A and B are shown apart, each in its own frame.
Chain A
């Protein structure tokens, strides 16, 4: 195949009544990469994924997966994509083994083959011991793993992961990251959504940032981060009226534009190099500007947002009735 794209979506649109949840989003995912869709709650990540997975009708635009038209050939698309939703799509009334067996049978595997695959996947995802227990006894992490295992039965070339680690504890999150990286070494392409810049940074080769249904940026995680600085220095000045002066000092020293909140005397200074934090503090003292609190933070999604859109990620989004 000449075209090496896994997903090619152009001007995707989804309306819920008058509310436009996805507004002309373009996505281009290359084969073999991990592509991240980053955005706050309500940005339209799930809706975009569900349209591409044939779970929601596409209201406008065009989408192809490995060259197959999503709208025209939904049955083919379903053979190409493994979907792991934001909420585990497994059957609570069956055991883990029965779930996998059922999904394998539904996809045309013989009963014996389905049993073997179920056993293999349970082992691979560390679920053998719980395999025959009801799902009601499963932890959130175990359900996620079973859900992911269910998406891999036929080894689909493209895997959708909708917020695969939201709500997981840090250790389980780390395990999930390892699993996701492994899938790519198997030759699969991954399209994942996340609310965490950190996660996109850890996993994704390229990231699209989505805000209120629109794509506001697309780049490598490194490039995105340099837009806000690798980390930032957060300061509260003892005297709020000093902010303008302090900003001047920073500009002269680092050549960076600090983000100011004059009312509370707070400043957020992008730091290309964390070691320069000390320089900033020293310069401020030399200029006679008092500081009441200080911290160094890695850039958060919030800051990427602020830099890209001019508003924070946690600002209330237009509420839509479900």
Chain B
């Protein structure tokens, strides 16, 4: 092919743009495969940002360490008689709580991110609207992983001996990561709705505290008054905590594991479309 001479040394491509050819090539939406590439590209961006701002990891590093030690020694005697008896109850609870903290940060950071100029570009590009939301959530899997392993290790150091063995622990950590990722869609939805990062933080707190403290994460549900017990029993966090306990302590894949997974799927099925819709509208 003969190339026409470039107009100037800086002209990028000697071929002229042909609008009608470009129009003919356009597609009405991103294919599943294209969307997946876009999500991974957005995940890559989120990982880059994490590496440049390691202070974002403080919550997932410090909270598991601090809470595990603190709760074990403060409540251990009162709730279970001794610290070592309380650890099998406590560690899965802390795990769930830490995962929820990460979820909350997901929503707040998304909101902050969306206020930046670069989001104008993301919106102006022909990309699936789910990509800017799902990308960071994939990167967050790293955070859930770190938080879970750290909590487990802290437990092991202060004397926790999970009966489920290595496989049970791997299963429990995996379930925590899945649950964290699923619940994060609630906070992502909040992130796309709220006016400011601060309001996301505020609303998230109001959701997170009942979800964790009104669950069986730290105390057995039976010790609570009846009306509270009822809420605790339908709280999806309770099911995740019970399932993780079964995996860690007995290495057993019980019905609770099934309920936890179903709960997670329901949350994703409801909140992922809500989040994408609210994000697409906010333009």
Contacts and interface: CB of A to CB of B under 8 A. Distances in A.
Interface of A: 1, 6, 31, 53-57, 66-68, 73, 75-76, 78-81, 83, 85, 87-94, 98, 102-103, 105-108, 120-121, 124, 150, 152, 155-158, 182, 185-189
**Max chain A CB contacts within 10 Å: which of B19, B38, B49, B131?**
B19
B125 to A, nearest CB: 6
A98 B124 CA distance: 18
Contacts of B118: 89-92
Q: Which 7 residue pairs of A and B lie closest in terms of their CB atoms, listed nearest first? A: A187-B16, A187-B17, A157-B19, A89-B121, A78-B126, A105-B41, A76-B26
Nearest to B25: A79
Interface in B197-247: none
A186 B17 contact: yes
A238 B52 CA distance: 66
Given A68-B26, A75-B29, A186 B124 contact: no
A88 B23 CA distance: 27
Given A94-B45, A186-B17, A79 B26 contact: yes
Contact of B116 (A31, A68, A91): A91
Contacts of B29: 75
Main secondary structure of the interface of A (DSSP, over half): loop
Contacts of A1: 19-20
B283 to A, nearest CB: 6
Contacts of A150: 121
Given A55-B123, A85-B117, A182-B11, A106 B19 contact: no
Interface in B107-135: 116-127, 131
A189 B195 CA distance: 37
Interface string B4-20: 00011011110011111
Interface of B: 7-8, 10-13, 16-20, 22-23, 25-30, 34, 37-38, 41-42, 44-45, 48-49, 52-53, 116-127, 131, 283
Contact of A105 (B37, B117, B126): B37
Nearest to B30: A75
B23 A68 contact: yes
A186 B52 CA distance: 38
18 contacts: A1-B20, A55-B123, A75-B27, A78-B124, A79-B126, A80-B19, A89-B120, A90-B118, A91-B116, A106-B38, A106-B122, A121-B12, A124-B10, A150-B121, A152-B12, A186-B12, A187-B16, A187-B17
B126 to A, nearest CB: 4
Contact of B19 (A66, A85, A98): A66
B121 A103 contact: yes
Contacts of A67: 23
B125 A124 contact: no
Nearest to A159: B17
B125 A107 contact: yes
B124 A55 contact: yes
Given A31-B19, A185-B11, A56 B120 contact: no
Nearest to A114: B41
A85 B122 CA distance: 12
A127 to B, nearest CB: 12
B28 A185 contact: no
A158 B123 CA distance: 17
Given A89-B118, A93-B48, A152-B12, A54 B283 contact: yes
Given A66-B22, A93-B49, 12 more contacts: A53-B124, A55-B120, A55-B123, A55-B283, A66-B20, A75-B26, A81-B124, A89-B119, A90-B121, A105-B44, A106-B41, A120-B12
B26 A186 contact: no
Nearest to B53: A93
A108 B127 CA distance: 9
Contact of B48 (A57, A76, A98, A188): A98
A181 to B, nearest CB: 10
B45 A102 contact: yes
Contacts of A121: 12
Contact of A80 (B23, B34, B41, B42): B23
Contacts of B127: 78, 106-107
B282 to A, nearest CB: 10
Nearest to B29: A75
A156 B121 contact: no
Contact of A57 (B25, B123, B126, B283): B283
